[in-house]
Amino acid sequence: EADIYQTPRYLVIGTGKKITLECSQTMGHDKMYWYQQDPGMELHLIHYSYGVNSTEKGDLSSESTVSRIRTEHFPLTLESARPSHTSQYLCASSDLGSNYRFTQYFGPGTRLTVL
């Protein structure tokens, strides 16, 4: 099972601020993902990466950006936060492994509130 860490767990910030949500995993997984989820609602994939220097936009359009300079680190940045960005952000990672044992493991999430 993967160890995935997200910081901060909770963030309340004013409109217009630049924020970075951190996500790190210690399992050496190639693949990492960011999901956005409103409370109790469905998950929306907003970014993913299949390796260093590889990033793609997900199924839901997002104003955030991501980078993947190191295998273990996949931060998400909002240049200018707005109230519409208020949500929970979940990071995940996966590795194909042997016998196609592909599984995504999730971090604890960051609950972002933009005032």
**List of residues contacting another protein (CB under 8 A):** 1, 31, 33, 40-43, 45, 48, 50, 58, 88, 90, 92, 94, 96, 100-109, 111
* CB closer to another protein out of 18 and 49: 49
Q: Considering beta carbons, is residue 22 or 105 the nearer one to another protein?
A: 105
Q: How far is the CB of 4 from another protein (least distance, A)?
A: 10
| Least distance in angstroms from the C-beta of 21 to another protein | 14
CA distance 65 to 90: 14
- How far is the CA of 32 from the CAs of 29, 69, 81, 108, in angstroms? 7, 12, 23, 14
Is residue 13 packed enough to be buried (19+ CB in 10 Å), middle (13-18) or exposed (0-12)?
Answer: middle
